[in-house]
A and B are shown apart, each in its own frame.
Chain A
């Protein structure tokens, strides 16, 4: 029997009996040292990656975020109870310090999207493609013109930083995603600063009507949770 792990926190209430997690399993709290971890007992060898399970994972994490700021685990974390306990005791200091760095904060997400018309230059691309071909064409387009886009992304990133930097505690930014997405930023914001963050973001958007924003939040600090492999996970390589 393995455990499916949702998130880790220092002090969290026993989850409600009606809360259902991945694969419809009930969710329970497991205490280890100073940490509380929300888990489900999980009999299967792997987790099915589907919409229902991903949403269930997010909802369990979100239920904790209303009480305190947890460190969310990535979807699909399955461990034995012994593995979990040895991880928690071996990495106790790093985890405590990570929890300290996100305490009282939430993650806000900003994606800045290129104008739909400006990406038409990439050519017609309506053929049904296999995932592999689509991936490679996307990569090709990424490389072509990547320098111009990288320069533009840097300008936009520094403008954004200038406008909202004061209310942001920490930033994870990807300024080189694709030809459609100019930048994707995750901002760690103190809970009480969220209204001001939103006001500033709204003002910034007003200044640059040619840019399109996709903003969401508040999230648990998904982008700020890792104690290892910060670089790799940030850039989607692992």
Chain B
């Protein structure tokens, strides 16, 4: 996919690690959790997973991915 981002920053150094994964999660967070809703017209479910629930998980995943990157980086620097 072409990334809609021109920057993803996790730490001071401005490095962008795991960019594709994080940009995907950020995309999902925006597309699934936000946006104009025509009241009553959004009823989507995938295998009984409510969309809002899916959205919540996406948000948690993007944070977890970021933390994982930080952890790995700390291990490398030790």
Instruction: State the A residues within 8 Å of B (CB).
Output: 5, 8, 46-51, 54-55, 57-59, 62, 71-79, 83-84, 87, 109, 111, 113, 115-116, 119, 131, 135, 138, 177-178, 180-181, 184, 186, 198, 202, 205-206, 209, 212-219, 222-223, 225-229, 233, 236-238
B77 within 8 A of A: no
- Tell me, rounded to whole Å, the shortest Cβ–Cβ distance linking A159 to chain B: 16
Q: Which of these, B9, B36, B43, B53, contacts A215 with CB under 8 Å?
A: B9
Distance, CA A47 to CA B46, complexed state (A): 9
Q: Which of these, A57, A109, A111, A205, contacts B31 with CB under 8 Å?
A: A57
Q: Which residues of A contact B38 (CB under 8 A)?
A: 5, 73, 77, 79, 83-84, 87
Interface size on B, residues (CB 8 A): 53
- Tell me, rounded to whole Å, the shortest Cβ–Cβ distance linking A116 to chain B: 4
Closest A residue by C-beta to B48? A131
The reply to whether A71 and B31 form a contact with Cβ atoms under 8 Å apart is no
The reply to whether B66 and A233 form a contact with Cβ atoms under 8 Å apart is no
Q: Which residues of B contact A215 (CB under 8 A)?
A: 7-9
The reply to whether B39 and A131 form a contact with Cβ atoms under 8 Å apart is no
- Tell me, rounded to whole Å, the shortest Cβ–Cβ distance linking B24 to chain A: 7
The reply to whether A237 and B31 form a contact with Cβ atoms under 8 Å apart is no
The reply to whether A75 and B32 form a contact with Cβ atoms under 8 Å apart is yes
Between A and B, 12 residue pairs with Cβ closer than 8 Å are: A58-B4, A59-B4, A73-B38, A74-B31, A74-B34, A77-B38, A111-B62, A205-B12, A222-B30, A222-B31, A233-B34, A238-B52
Distance, CA A213 to CA B11, complexed state (A): 6
Closest B residue by C-beta to A224? B34
- Tell me, rounded to whole Å, the shortest Cβ–Cβ distance linking A236 to chain B: 6
Closest B residue by C-beta to A78? B41
Q: Which residues of B contact A57 (CB under 8 A)?
A: 31
